[in-house]
Amino acid sequence: MSTDTAPGTEPAPSRVGGSPSPRVASGSAPGTVRSSARSGGYAKGRATRREIVDAATALFAEVGFHTASLREISARVGISHPGLLHHFPTKVALLEAVLARRDEVDGAALDRALAQGADLVESLVQIADRNAGRPHIVELFATLSAEATSPEHPAHAYFRRRYDDTIASFADGLEQWRARGTLRPGVDVVAAARTLVAVMDGLQIQWLLEADRGEDRVDMVGLLRLHLESYRRPA
């Protein structure tokens, strides 16, 4: 993906009485001023890209990829349509950035959990727990993954790969349980991993549907942990 923004061209200095204005301060090289201006431009460009990705995340979650409009996203950010296209020339490019952001955030959360001593299965459950505090992310995943069952959807390959990776991670985690002697005998770890992913997806949809139920809302993480216990060797 291209860098955030191309270095902007600086306006030619206006001249009064044949002298450039404004003057470069004594002791400051012109190159230093230009470098600072470019750095400021890059930072502003990165901030704008983050705002665009945030707005796209919200809109894709609300209406899906196909219905979402780049003009609506640019309006939410407060920039022009051409201004948005400067950063993301197509809606597919923006979708890729949205999904990459989700992977980056989830990957960092997984690394933190593992670094704190959680096993792989527990680390993945902690991501689900964290997502309960980010309903727009849960909604985004539910909406886009349903759309992406069509092979023509631009995120079809992404979601196939993501599901494969998640199933493989759960299977690896359950194999770690087996190695420690905590997995119930006879468990097919791949079948169990597929079931875990299906349970997670189903609980997330129920959780989204019950947003108005307050304390009676389904406990995604609690029920996921309860299901996991069925794979443990009895004490």
Helix (H), strand (E), coil (C) string for the chain: CCCCCCCCCCCCCEEECCEEECCCCCCCCHHHHHHHHHHHHHHHHHHHHHHHHHHHHHHHHHHCCCCCCHHHHHHHHCCCHHHHHHHCCCHHHHHHHHHHHHHHHHHHHHHHHHHCCCCHHHHHHHHHHHHCCCHHHHHHHHHHHHHCCCCCCCCHHHHHHHHHHHHHHHHHHHHHHHHHCCECCCCCHHHHHHHHHHHHHHHHHHHHHCCCCHHHCCCHHHHHHHHHHCCECCC
Q: Would you kindly state where each structural domain of the chain is located, as residue ranges? A: 31-229
The tens digit of pLDDT for each residue in 194-218 reads 999 999 999 999 999 999 998 899 9
Domain 31-229 has CATH 3.40.470.10: no
The tens digit of pLDDT for each residue in 99-118 reads 999 889 888 888 888 888 88
Phi first, then psi: what are they for 70, rounded to 5°?
Answer: -65, -30
Over residues 80-98, the mean pLDDT reads 96
Over residues 81-91, the mean pLDDT reads 96
Phi first, then psi: what are they for 141, rounded to 5°?
Answer: -65, -45
Q: Which of 165, 189, 196, 163 is nearest to 175 (CA)?
A: 189
Confidence at residue 192, expressed as pLDDT on a 0 to 100 scale = 96
Which pTM value belongs to this model?
0.75
Which range is least confidently modeled, 48-52, 134-138, 160-164?
134-138
